[in-house]
Amino acid sequence: MEAALGLMRRIPPKHSVTALSALVSLLPDHSSDLLSQVDQPLQVLCDSESGKEFILCEYNRDADSYRSPWSNKYHPPLGDALLPSDELRKLEVEANEVFAIYRDQYYEGGISSVYLWEDNNEGFVACFLIKKDGARTAHGRRGYLQEGLWEAIHVIEVGPEDETTRYCLTSTVMLSLTTDKESSGTFNLSGSIRRQMRMDLPLADGHLCNMGKMIEEMEGKLRNSLDQVYFGKTKEMVCTLRPPSEVVMRLPTS
């Protein structure tokens, strides 16, 4: 199983869907572990009632149906399915509304969904998802990307309410961008990173505010990390392989 995860870490991100299904067919006994530990591109369905789209994940799935955060109904319809409690559903509705505005401010488009459900420890778990397709043909406003996908999955475990409440956040960002410049051929940067954050916060501002701030801080850090560290390191590698001509000319000829 560790070897399987090792393979997933090395295979180019653009092949991750094929790689995961290959591993699942090679190791059918480990399929549920693999599916839960390896992140896959996010799928989307349209809620027939509201006409809005919602993101599919393990956290809004029951059997083969998925629950829409807008109508709270399963697609395709499912009798006797898991639903959050009324109180949690109220918070979930508000979370979806506010998160949609947050999403619009930072992503200028895209789709978001939030799912809440009770867990066994008197607390609850929240999953915030964002999918942004920034390609020129989709939501990309500036037209630089031929293909561009940002997918964020934030899972927060919220502890029982006390003087301070514990929030454990695990965030994963999956990214793929292909620039569109006829003259330079293809240029594709893809990858995924995952980080965790834990905070104990008072309830004065409410759960949504606490979770929202954590997610905003985390997304900012991940974006910077991707930009400076990951893209920076790959650029550094390219310039190490073949230094730009200005550097070369300064080297003493031996």
- Give residues 194-223 in contact with other proteins (rule: CB under 8 A): 194-195, 205-206, 208-209, 212-213, 216, 219-220, 223
Q: How far is the CB of 120 from other proteins (least distance, A)?
A: 27
Peptide bond into 202 cis (omega under 30): no
Distance CA 212, CA 112 (A): 13
Nearer Cβ to other proteins (49/97): 97
- Six-digit token string for 62: 């029951």
Q: How far is the CB of 215 from other proteins (least distance, A)?
A: 9
Stretch that binds other proteins, among 45-53, 78-86, 103-111, 113-121 (CB under 8 A): 103-111
* 218 Cα distance to chain centroid: 12
Is 170 one of the binding residues for other proteins (CB under 8 A)?
no
Segments of 92-185 assigned E as strands: 111-118, 124-133, 145-158, 164-180
Q: What is the DSSP letter of 154?
A: E
Is 13 one of the binding residues for other proteins (CB under 8 A)?
yes
Is 177 one of the binding residues for other proteins (CB under 8 A)?
yes
Exactly one of 144, 197, 201, 221 binds other proteins (CB under 8 A); that residue is 144
With CB under 8 A as the rule, give the number of residues binding other proteins: 90
Count Cβ atoms within 10 A of the Cβ of residue 219 and give its class: 0-12 exposed, 13-18 middle, 19 or more buried. Answer: buried
Is 238 one of the binding residues for other proteins (CB under 8 A)?
yes
The interaxial angle of helices 207-224 and 86-107, nearest 10 deg, is 30
- Going from the C-alpha of 237 to that of each of 10, 157, 192, 230, 250, the distances in angstroms are 17, 38, 19, 11, 20
Contacts to other proteins from residues 52-91, by CB under 8 A: none
Is 189 one of the binding residues for other proteins (CB under 8 A)?
yes
Stretch that binds other proteins, among 57-65, 74-82, 120-128, 240-248 (CB under 8 A): 240-248
Is 164 one of the binding residues for other proteins (CB under 8 A)?
no
Is 248 one of the binding residues for other proteins (CB under 8 A)?
yes
Is 179 one of the binding residues for other proteins (CB under 8 A)?
yes
Q: How far is the CB of 172 from other proteins (least distance, A)?
A: 10
Instruction: Put residue 63 in one of left, alpha, beta given phi > 0 → left and psi -120 to 50 → alpha.
Output: left
